[in-house]
Structure formats: structure tokens, C-alpha cells
With several copies, the nearest count.
Chain A
Amino acid sequence: MPKKTVYQASIEYVSILDENAEFDESLGKGLIADEVVVDSYERMAVCRHLDEVAFKLQRSGRMGTYPQNKGQEAAAVGTALSLRPGRDWVVPCYRENAALFMMGLPMHYILLYWMGDERGSQIPENVKMTPLSVPIGTHMLHAAGIGYAEKIRKTDNVVATYFGDGATSEGDFHEAMNFASVLQTPTIFVNQNNSWAISVPRSKQMHSETVAQKALAYGMPTIRCDGNDIFAVKYCMDEAVKRARSGGGPSFIECVTYRLGDHTTADDARRYRDPKEVEAWLARDPLIRTRKYLEARKLWDDDKETTLKERAKKIVKEVVATAEGIDKPDVASIFDAMYANIPEEVRLQRDTMRTSSLGKYPEQVGLKGTTQRV
């Protein structure tokens, strides 16, 4: 046989609660307990409100550049539902706030971070996560290494790492996928394919039909799902987590979603994006369909919605107050944070807040008079 088929693959797409709030019982039944769906909805709503407030804070000069999560809350919540706070790890990018809160990160950390304070990245000890990653596509390697440490310690802890469609173009994405598969680490690659990387559409980002097929290159189990459907997301994540916990190695999940806002507050998406596209996606908003799901099952009503709105306002207000109430960091922290024990030369820069040498060294002579401190 001169030609024979030596490899075959196919990729499935999962949708359970679709954009019309139609629910597929065959896969969805019992997947998420009612009270957890309610809780998830509330979490998404609170995050949405945080987003809106953060946007306003930025506009009024009380915060720096901020990337809204708006529209992508289901991917964050749906995946985090399968994780165990305090044991499993999250290695995030910056568009999955809800997942971080579910893992135990206090909400004000996120605001503090975008307010330009490193203490927003000072992850509390009981929270298993790395700081938000500004350099795109380079943090997933850490999820391979973190997973490897869990693996050789023989725990059943897993690591979920989040990243966008754009991030999959970086070389480090490729290396992370390869290291995780070769070392069979318990790492779950959660791709939030929101169709855009700032102004670059998916069609210019990649030539493949799906993001999910990128995992085939590594012999890694892979699946695509409706990323605005917490059920579909949770379904895929459950499978991946189960596989990872039981020594089955890494998995890839493509969550098809959409960035309803601008890339960040520094961006104006109207420059490059058809408003009709945004409109179409507004109809697929994860909050709307989850609410419909709950309402259809009498788990939700307008009163509850009003209460939730109030509660969200209150929570976010407090969070803003907490973040804004934190004093400006001490200048010395710039230096002190560099090493466990800072070198003499860094200490000297800290103490003098200077780099010029005159008057700094006892043995240095020659300065006429005391012009030093003016």
C-alpha cells in the first residue's frame, strides 16, 4: 500500500444551555445542582457589576487601564466549578476574575492591582494562584511546571491555566502544551476564544478552523464548547479535571465566547469591529441565558434579581472602598521586594533614593561643603 492513513482525529463541540436557553437534559441533567447554578449566576452578576464600576473608576481617573471581563463570565465560572479552592491551582491571564474569586482571591486584590499597586498581586497564602499575567501567552509554561510539582508529590491536585485566542500564537504556548504533554502533568489549558486580540480578528490570528485543533499537535485530549454556557464549560472541565486527577495528563478546552467590551479601557473597539457583530453576541450573553434557565425552573424571579442587584452594588462598593482605602505603598518596597535579602548596592539606592555616587561612600572624598541634600 503506497498510501495509508496513519493518523485520524476529530473534535467535538459541546453545547448544553444554548443561546435561546434551551437546555439539553441528556448531558446537562444533574451536572450542576440548582443552588450552585443560582450561586454561579450571582457570581457572574457581581463580576459584571465590578466590571462596570471598574470601567467608571478608570474613566474618572481613579484607576489605570482595566480589561473588562464582560461577556466571558461563564467560561470563568464554569471551569472554576470543577476546581477545589486551596488545593487546585489557577494560572490566569486577566479575563477570568470570577474564577479567581472562586479560588479564594479577595475581590479588592483585582482592583488594587489595576490601581497600580503590586500588593494586588500579593497572592494570599491559602490561594493557589499566580499573579495576573501581563505578558500574553508566556504564563502557561508555569502551569506545566506547577503541575509537575504536584505530580511528583503524588497529589491529585490539578492546575488550570487561562488564556485568550491571541495567546495561542506565542511560541511559549506551543512549548507549554508540549512540556505538559510530554511530562504528562495535570494541567488543563482553558482557552477563552473571544474572537479578538485587541483589534486582530481570529482569521488573522490563525489559519485553523478551531483553536481546539491546536492540541492535536501534542496528542492532547481536546474539546470545543460554547463558552457562554456554564453547563457546557463545566461538562468539559469535569472530564479534563477527572483525567488530570487520575494521572491521565493534560487537556485542552476551547471556550467559544466573546469580548463584549473594548479590549481595555485604553481601547476603542469601534475602530475595528462591526457593531452588528457585537449586537449578535449581546444576545448570547451568558447572564441572560443562565437567568432564563433559572426562571424557567422557578429558581429565580424579578425580586431576586432586584435583591441581587442591590447586593452586587453593596459588595462592589465595599470592595472599591477597601481597595481605595489602602495607603499608597511605601517607596522602600520598590527595593525591598527585589530579593529575599537585598544586596548592599540596592540598599544604598533605597536609603539615598539616588544613583549618583557623591557623598554616598565614606571613603569618597573631595566634596566641597555640604551641597548634598538640597
Chain B
Amino acid sequence: MATLNLVQAINLALQQEMAKDERVIVLGEDVGPNGGVFRVTEGLHAQFGDERVIDTPLAESGIIGTAIGMAMNGLRPVPEIQFDGFLGPAYDQIVNHAARSRSRSRGAVTVPLTIRVPVGGGIHAPELHSDSPEAIYAHSPGIKVVMPTTPYDAKGLLTSAIRDPDPVIFFEPKRVYRSFREEVPEDEYTIPIGEAKVVSEGDDLTVVTWGASLFQCIEALDNAPDDVSIELIDLRTTYPIDMDTIAASVEKTGRCVIVHEAAMTCGLGAEISSRVQERCFLHLEAPVQRVTGFDTLMPYYKLENEYLVDAKRVGMAIRETLAY
């Protein structure tokens, strides 16, 4: 088993699926000889050539719209959008075509498409390079939205996404790309879309998170007093939401803190909080708390750390919720 970082694990999944299934096509800006601006597609152009690894014009709607056509006609395109903020021009193709085609045609015209997008802040990048738009797409019926954080999960979930008969947005927390490594089997494996992972078990409080914030949560847990036992859930898939895992946990702990990087208002945390109180109302010993990005833009990088959720903010919410 190799020890891989997130970039390498995703690269390996792409390489294996392309080798196995010639319908898989990678396309996007700079994904060819350059290997993508984060090098996630490195080596694919050399191995699979121009026809299957396409450097496209600079046009996100064009990338997704063309990929939709490919998918409608039997291919399995895996477009890359270079940064979260540049999903904007592709929004219409994603929401009004990719997501709707199956339902629109009652199953006759389907779009097996996996859109890879690096997301989130923390790398000191310019404006529009640090957004977390998962809630936007979770509110758009017809797409699945995945955001794995660890190399192991990423490889398994990307393989599932590529094989999925429906469109999947695959968000990659770019802050984690090279931040750590773990053992990743070289053999193929899949992790089902829609299943959360209990990272550590506990009885006093449930923390639900996804994406790069996972590490701030782990840090907060490490800093928590020894006598409290906290359950940490990595959602991994942000739509559909694995409420069974979350509800089972909150029924046990009675307390819940949700942590994410996107802005608070209408973020995915709101949905989970609502569902938790809908399902676990009589179990709740404290209001469900959200520790999230502020309802502002992600600032330019001088203030990036002030914006980002950190272990301190998570820790405060945990302590307060326990004290309630």
C-alpha cells in the first residue's frame, strides 16, 4: 500500500478509471501537458493522449456544456473547473441541464458526469479562489455533491462518482491537497456516495463537519478536556445527507455542533441543524450550534485566517454547548 496525499490519491483514481474504461474523458483548463494548476491530472495526458485528456478553451460553461453532450452520448467525462469561484459561469449548465436532464426526459437522456473542483480557502490565493459553494448545489435537485477530505476517502469516492449514472460534483478541499498523507490501497475500491464516516466515537456531543474544517475539528477535540467524549462525523457527501448516522449520534449525545467553511446563512449547516431538531427534538439538551464562515466574502488573504473557522471557535462552541 502506498502512502499518498490527496492530490496523488485523486490522480490515481483518475488514472485507474481511465485505464479501465475508455469512455472516461478528462477535460478542462490546463489539465493536459501542464497536469492542472494543482497537478491533479499530472501524467494523464502523456498516458492517454490528446483525445482523452483535453486542454479546453477558457470557458467554464463550455467545458460543462460540452461534457454534458459527451455524457449524453455515452462517454463518462470528468471535467475539472480550475477553482471554486469559476463554477459561476458554469452554474446554468450544471443546474439547468446536467441536474435536470434525467428528470426532464424521464430517464431517457442521462448525464453521467463528474465535475471536479478544488474548493475552500487557506492557501493565500487571490479573490474567488477560496469559495465553498456546496450548499448551492445541494439546493439544486438532480446532482449529488461529494466532498471527501482524506486521500483514502477521495480515491474511493471519486471512483464511485465516475461510475455513478448521475451527475456528481466532486469538491476537493485544496488546503488539504498536500497537507498530509495516508495509506491508500493501489487496488480499486469504492466508497458509497451518501455515507458519512464516524471519525471518532463519543457520548457527550456530536460534531458534524466536512472538507478542510475536519482538521480544525480534530484539533478542537484534541484540546477538549479529557473527561468529555465527543463524536466526530465527517459527512463526506454533502448531498444526499446521511442523516441516519447523524441522528443516531445525536440521539446518543443530545448535543450537536456543525462546522463548515461556507457562509452561515443558507449553508448546509442550516439544513443539518433543521433536520437534527426535526428528528431528535426530544433528545436535544442544547440548541444545535453552527460554527461556520461569516456572512461576508472570504477576504483577500491578509485576513484569511481571521475568516476561516479555527479550532478555537470550534472549541468555544463545544464548551458552550456542553455547558448548556
Q: A233-241, A303-311, A314-322, A364-372: which one contacts chain B?
A: A364-372
Whole-angstrom distance between the alpha carbons of A172 and B60 in the complex? 10
A265 to chain B: closest CB distance in Å?
11
B66 CB contacts on chain A under 8 angstroms: 141-142, 144-145, 148, 176, 179, 183
- Given the interface pairs A116-B301, A138-B93, the reply to whether A338 lies near B320 with Cβ below 8 Å is no
Q: Is the CB of B56 within 8 A of A141?
A: no
Q: Is the CB of A138 within 8 A of B55?
A: no
Interface SS, A side: loop
Whole-angstrom distance between the alpha carbons of A153 and B295 in the complex? 37
Instruction: Indicate if B198 sits at the interface (CB-CB under 8 A).
Output: no
A93 to chain B: closest CB distance in Å?
12
A125 CB contacts on chain B under 8 angstroms: 108
Q: Is the CB of B299 within 8 A of A118?
A: yes
Whole-angstrom distance between the alpha carbons of A205 and B203 in the complex? 56
Q: Is the CB of B59 within 8 A of A366?
A: no
**Which partner residue on chain A sits nearest B314 by CB separation?**
A356
Q: Is the CB of A361 within 8 A of B323?
A: no
B61 CB contacts on chain A under 8 angstroms: 138, 141, 171-172, 175
Instruction: Indicate if A195 sits at the interface (CB-CB under 8 A).
Output: no
Whole-angstrom distance between the alpha carbons of A153 and B25 in the complex? 13
A141 CB contacts on chain B under 8 angstroms: 61-62, 65-66, 68-69, 93
- Given the interface pairs A121-B108, A149-B74, A356-B316, the reply to whether A166 lies near B34 with Cβ below 8 Å is no
- Number of B residues near A (Cβ < 8 Å) is 106
Instruction: Indicate if A107 sits at the interface (CB-CB under 8 A).
Output: no
A125 to chain B: closest CB distance in Å?
8
8 A-B pairs whose Cβ atoms sit less than 8 Å apart in the complex: A121-B108, A131-B108, A134-B127, A172-B65, A199-B55, A200-B30, A333-B106, A367-B324
Instruction: Indicate if A119 sits at the interface (CB-CB under 8 A).
Output: yes
Q: A11-19, A246-254, A340-348: which one contacts chain B?
A: A340-348
Instruction: Give B contacts to A, CB under 8 Å.
Output: 25, 29-30, 32-35, 37, 51-52, 54-62, 65-75, 77, 85-86, 88-89, 92-93, 96-97, 101-110, 124-129, 141-142, 144, 164-166, 194, 240-241, 243-244, 247, 251, 257, 264-265, 275, 278-282, 286-287, 289-297, 299-304, 306-307, 312-313, 315-317, 319-321, 323-324
Contact with B along A2-28 (1 / 0, CB 8 A): 000000000000000000000000000
Q: Is the CB of A335 within 8 A of B296?
A: yes
A143 CB contacts on chain B under 8 angstroms: 69
Contact with B along A120-160 (1 / 0, CB 8 A): 11111100001100111111011111111110110000000
Q: Is the CB of A130 within 8 A of B320?
A: no
A324 to chain B: closest CB distance in Å?
12
Which of under 10, 10 to 19, 20 to 34, or 35 or more describes the interface residues of A? 35 or more
Counted as pairs of residues, one from A and one from B, with CB atoms less than 8 Å apart, the total is 326
Instruction: Indicate if A299 sits at the interface (CB-CB under 8 A).
Output: no
Whole-angstrom distance between the alpha carbons of A64 and B127 in the complex? 11
A175 CB contacts on chain B under 8 angstroms: 57, 59, 61-62, 65
User: 7 closest A-B pairs (Cβ-Cβ)?
Assistant: A145-B69, A141-B65, A175-B62, A116-B301, A343-B240, A199-B34, A357-B278
Whole-angstrom distance between the alpha carbons of A361 and B264 in the complex? 17
A358 CB contacts on chain B under 8 angstroms: 278, 286-287, 289, 317, 320-321, 324
- Given the interface pairs A89-B73, A135-B88, A354-B316, the reply to whether A122 lies near B106 with Cβ below 8 Å is yes
Whole-angstrom distance between the alpha carbons of A346 and B319 in the complex? 24
B33 CB contacts on chain A under 8 angstroms: 199, 271-272
Q: Is the CB of A145 within 8 A of B65?
A: yes
Most buried by B among A119, A146, A206: A146
Q: Is the CB of B59 within 8 A of A171?
A: yes
